[in-house]
Amino acid sequence: MALRPIFYSCSTGNTQKRLFSLHKLSEQHQQLKKTCRDFAKKELRPVASQLDKTGKFPSEQIKKLGELGLLGITADEKYGGCGESTLGMSVAVEEISKGCGGTGAIVSIHNALYVNLLNNFGSEEQKQAFLSPFVCGRLGCFALSEPDAGSDVSSIATTAQLDGDKYILNGHKSWVTTGIEGEAAVIFATVDKKLKHKGITAFLVPVPTAGLCKGKPEDKMGIRASSTCDYFLDNVCVPKDNVIGLPGQGFAIAMKQLEKARIGIASQALGIAQAALDLAVEYSKERKAFGQPINKLQAVKLRLAEMATRLESARLLVWRAAVICDEAKRSSKYSSMAKLAASEAATFVSHGAIQILGGMGYVSDLPAERHYRDARITEIYAGVNDVQKLIIADMLLKEYK
């Protein structure tokens, strides 16, 4: 039975109350957290290792997440979604990622870069056709990056040429998460390369469609339960009605949604880090050296203390960014801070877990090495951390003017 009603958000209350009353989440978000935690424990943790080793997509688990409403967290209720806040998305993604980092990536990117994008910028007709069917199990994709255009989005080379009542798309998109299983994609192309970022336009494209060819699934270091591939576009016809917003607004749409995506990725990083910390603490209680559990050793205590502190600090930054993101304020500085802190915490904590586990951290009998591999991508996608630092610095300097 769907549990969606318990996730419906309440728009009343001040920021402090909606965030966590300075010491805890709201009752609503605690219930959401518990539901996702129980799901991760029952449905994801037992299969996470096998999904990782085989690179198998978690189709059964995704279907169940759809039934729970977790594929439409940030979509309005009128379209079948939960009407939840970005903080609600963050809470859900963190708990799901504790069970399986790859599944957390799927849920995060689908919600932030497909569902919420359409909810915010799609026309009523687009929402009926491409949003409502995608909140209960079907998956959508976000195709922005290209082989020569990652951080430099304005350099995308995929073209969209107007031909009567349709556009003809040609080009090559890279790193499309859930590109193999996705049934629709938001694809970015330029209507005029001379305009640079002002020519970038967002298109809704059903998948499969004539002229769109999927590349091979990438064999990734981590988050191996999620699929990633290239899209090759050869004279793909897209009706003018499938333009999201207006021609030339694609860059602004992408940048706005990437702010939310960075919060989702930061939340994924928190979940991976928490799973690694939990494992390290439990192992340190059981493993004995010099006649005592290793958690009695000062070196282990000091390492655990720093791991826990970095994780908790990052979590507060992520929650703060999530609340600011929903207040119609410019949240890019806070989203970038959240992603920077949480992704680096995930790498640090998962590395620390391997050190505490020693040899057992290096082999796949325990998930420490998987947590480390899963953590690494959070410092890379939706803008590498070096770019996040530039964003933070630029916004900071503007404030001082």
Query: The tokens of 313 are what?
Result: 């600090």
Q: Which helix (H) or strand (E) is 172 found in, with range?
A: strand 166-177
Write down which residue in 103, 134, 165 finishes a domain.
134
Structural domain for 381, as ranges: 251-400
Please tell me the predicted confidence (pLDDT) of residue 24: 74
Q: What is the pLDDT of residue 186?
A: 98
| Mean pLDDT of the region 110-136 | 96
Give the pLDDT band of residue 312 (cuts 50, 70, 90).
very high
Query: Would you state the pLDDT for residue 328?
Result: 67
Residue 212 in this model has a pLDDT that exceeds 60: yes
- What is the distance between the alpha carbons of residues 128 and 135, in angstroms, rounded to a whole number? 11
Q: Which of 248, 269, 292 is the last residue of a domain?
A: 248
190-204 residue pLDDT tens? 999 999 999 999 999
Pair 311, 369 in one domain: yes
Across 8-27, average pLDDT? 51
Give 72's pLDDT tier (boundaries 50, 70, 90): very high
* Same domain flag for 226 and 279: no
Q: Is the pLDDT of residue 22 over 70?
A: no
pLDDT tens-digit profile of 150-181? 778 888 999 999 999 999 999 999 999 999 99
Structure tokens at 268: 């994924």
Task: Tell whether the model's pLDDT for residue 3 goes beyond 90.
Answer: no
Q: What are the E-state strand segments in 153-227? A: 159-163, 166-177, 184-190, 200-206, 212-214
Total domains in the fold of the chain: 3
Same structural domain for residues 126 and 209? Answer: no
Query: Average pLDDT of 359-365?
Result: 96
Same structural domain, 383 and 256? yes
pLDDT, residue 268, reads 98
CATH number for the domain that contains residue 146:
2.40.110.10
pLDDT at 262: 97
Give residue 23's pLDDT band: very low, low, confident or very high (50, 70, 90).
low
d(CA 319, CA 327): 13
Q: pLDDT at residue 373 above 90?
A: yes
Q: Are residues 103 and 158 in the same domain?
A: no
- Residues 182 and 263 reside in one and the same domain: no
**Same structural domain, 174 and 196:** yes
Q: How many whole angstroms separate alpha carbon 232 and alpha carbon 229? A: 10
Both 106 and 144 in one domain: the answer is no
- How many angstroms separate the CA atoms of 82 and 76, rounded? 6
Answer yes or no: do 331 and 255 share one domain: yes
| Same-domain pairing of 73 and 42 | yes
pLDDT grade for 130, boundaries at 50, 70 and 90 = very high
User: What pLDDT sits at residue 310?
Assistant: 98
- Residue 226 pLDDT exceeds 50: yes
Average pLDDT for 278-291: 96
**pLDDT at residue 327, as a whole number:** 85
Has residue 15 got a pLDDT over 90? no
Task: Give the per-residue pLDDT at 317.
Answer: 96
- Percent of the chain with pLDDT strictly greater than 90: 89
Average per-residue pLDDT in the chain? Answer: 93
Nearest Cα to Cα of residue 7 among 65, 68, 54: 68
Q: Are 364 and 354 in contact (CB under 8 A)?
A: no
Q: How far apart are CA 330 and CA 234, in angstroms?
A: 37
User: Binning pLDDT at 50, 70 and 90, where does residue 16 land?
Assistant: very low
Instruction: Point out the domain boundary residue: 205, 227, 248.
Output: 248
Please give the average per-residue pLDDT across 194-217, as a whole number. 96
For residues 296 and 13, the model is more confident at: 296
Whether the pLDDT of residue 55 is over 80: the answer is yes
Domain with residue 19: its CATH number is 1.10.540.10
Q: Is the pLDDT of residue 32 over 60?
A: yes
Q: What is the pTM of this model?
A: 0.93
pLDDT at 383 over 70: yes
Ranking 14-18, 274-278, 389-393 by mean pLDDT, the lowest is: 14-18
pLDDT digits over 230-281, tens only? 999 999 999 999 999 999 999 999 999 999 999 999 999 999 999 999 999 9
